[in-house]
Amino acid sequence: MIGLVLTIGGTIAFVVGVVLLNRGGPGYRVGRLLSVAPELTLDEAAAVARAGEQRYVRIQGRISSDEEFPDENDKPLVFRRQRLQARTDGRAWRDVDDDRVAVPFGLEARGSFLAIDVDALGEGLIVVPRVAEGTAAELPPAWADRLPALAGPTPVRLRVDQVSAVEQATAAGVPALGADGAPILGAGLGRPLIVTPLEPAAAMRILASERRGAVRLAAALLVAGLALIAVGLVAFLAGR
């Protein structure tokens, strides 16, 4: 009897943990896709595009562009997204202003090059964000004409995500032929284009940071659930 109760309790805890992870928003999905996508060389991914295959793959290389632009510190960039976000419901941040600057770029390795579909970059961009928080009342007057009316005490934050032209990166997506006939990596098969200059562990921490409490609770439930199931099965087999 004890074994059955422990097994059932462990199963419930495990299922709840899985549900919490699946509700972790796009970050959980992006992290899972990045970890399971099969890795190909740039030449192999280009061959997939030319063959017309629909495959979601992962590639690595050095970011390369002929049209980089400088940030305020003269650091060469290929992508910059600046978002002003507000927290009007006391919980989730929502975008109230979104500005993107990007130039064509791709990944290069051993003389091979594969373009990245810059227009498809969205939730799959994983970088260390630059964030400044405050309230709507502290915003410069220049923002007033661009934003919906926000009460003065409303929490706001400015988030900047950018990609440097001098970094190694990992990307995941579906190789295809672009409008010019050259291979390009983009979104497809219902999955986002992913680009990150971060190591896997750092990328996962960034993805989990928005829902850190829920992720920790889910992990604890998964571990506890598996432990209870194991103990329950042992007790059940022992006739308890």
What are the pLDDT digits (tens) for 1-14? 665 555 565 466 44
Among residues 206, 208, 224, 221, which one has the least CA distance to residue 18?
A: 221
pLDDT tens sequence across 92-135 = 788 888 999 999 999 999 999 999 999 999 889 999 999 999 88
- What the block records as the tokens of 89 is 């419901």
CB 86 within 8 A of CB 133: no
E-strand stretches of 126-167: 130-135, 155-164
Chain centroid to CA 229: 32
pLDDT of 224: 53
From first CA to last CA, the distance across the chain in angstroms is 6
Containing domain of residue 39, as a range? 2-237
pLDDT at 143 over 80: no
CB 95 within 8 A of CB 160: no
Q: Tell me how far CA of residue 69 lies from CA of 22, 80, 90, 101, 208, in angstroms.
A: 38, 10, 37, 9, 30
Phi-psi region of 111 (alpha: psi -120 to 50; beta: other; left: phi over 0): left
Number of domains into which the chain is organized: 1
Round to whole Å and give the CA distance between 9 and 14: 9
pLDDT tens sequence across 167-179 = 999 999 999 999 9
Round to whole Å and give the CA distance between 85 and 18: 29
pLDDT tens sequence across 201-235 = 888 777 766 554 444 444 444 455 455 555 545 55
pLDDT at 56 over 90: yes
Round to whole Å and give the CA distance between 76 and 164: 6
Q: What is the pTM of this model?
A: 0.74
pLDDT of 94: 86
